[in-house]
Amino acid sequence: MGRSLVTGGCGFVGSHLVKRLLDDGEDVTVVDAFPPAKHLGVVGEHARFVQGDITDRDTLLQACQGVDTIYHLAAVVGVDRYLSAPLEVIDTAMVGTRNVLDAATATGARVLVTSTSEVFGKNPNVPWKEDDDRVLGSTAADRWTYSTSKALTEHLVFAYGRQHGTAATIVRYFNVYGPRQRPAFVVSRSIHRALNGLPTVVYDDGGQTRCFTYVEDAVDGTVRAARSDKGIGEAFNVGSMTETTVSEVVALIGSLTGTGPASKVDTATALGRTYQDLARRVPDNTKARKVLGWSCPTTLTEGLSRTIEWARTAPWWLDQADSGAAA
């Protein structure tokens, strides 16, 4: 196999991707602003690590020399961070992605850029196909900084392809969950609280729906997209099409962990008016299935059971602070 570079390779999805690439026999380099923790031994022991911020153009370009494929995952993720550090969210997405695309163009590497289901915003017409419209809230609401900055990075990807011939592909993740995810999201936070003896939390009435995607399935879609010549210049929705309410997934976690009912939080009171939730978030993954031969076989019960089993053996993760807002 070839040589790959993963930005954000010490993060949640990034670390799972690194393991997959190493298992496939690839030579892997990781660029991340933070050094790999002990629980990410696969990065420190079997992949070359370069500590650096992707907004540092020279560091990134040097790290990309001789690389065949760049997997760009580095981003500032999580509703709590959208609300507390919107400038960091925007700068990392925009400056970092442009540097990645410049490096790919200069070195001739193939590049896979990860995006998000949030680019569709509040479009009520689900399931969303890749080219469906974006419907967003006010620019005064920090909630939309991630959605908007990620959409602009997608514009960069398509522009580089058209103007410079850069071989680039986009994948959009839909509510990915699994082992090692920071406890700031619906699934990870609920498991974290349950195993720490705290009540799980549901925002508002819990009727919001999501399509939860197990991390190994998301990584498989990512790798397939990066290796497919048919994927160049294309975007793919990588997510389960099984729609589940937040109340249902939190209740299932309660059942699997043996904990009590969830407590409810009013978002307007707890998070303020700069927070806006999404009623439904459902992909149409037909394109990924047809073009990439990708599937999403892990059921929610199976994926949650695996994640809970792992969490019970990870004291370092259980000891983390509750990160607040979940998407």
Active site residues: 146
Token output for 135? 């419907």
Task: Check residue 59 and report its DSSP letter.
Answer: H
Residue 275 CA to residue 55 CA, distance in Å, equals: 27
Q: Please state whether 326 falls in left (phi above 0), alpha (psi between -120 and 50) or beta.
A: beta
The helix (H) or strand (E) run that includes residue 237 is strand 235-238
Residue 169 CA to residue 171 CA, distance in Å, equals: 7
- DSSP characters for 63-131? HTTT-SEEEE-----SHHHHHH-HHHHHHHHHHHHHHHHHHHHHHT-EEEEEEEGGGGBT--SPSBPTT
Long-range contacts of 64-67 (CB under 8 A, 24+ apart): 64/5, 64/103, 64/104, 64/106, 64/107, 64/109, 65/107, 66/3, 66/107, 67/3, 67/4, 67/5, 67/29, 67/107, 67/109
Token output for 288? 């990924």
Residue 302 CA to residue 267 CA, distance in Å, equals: 30
Angle at 222 between CA 221 and CA 227, to 5 degrees: 100
Query: Which is it for strands 244-245 and 209-210: parallel, antiparallel or unpaired?
Result: antiparallel
Q: Is the dihedral of CA 294, 26, 179, 31 positive or negative?
A: negative
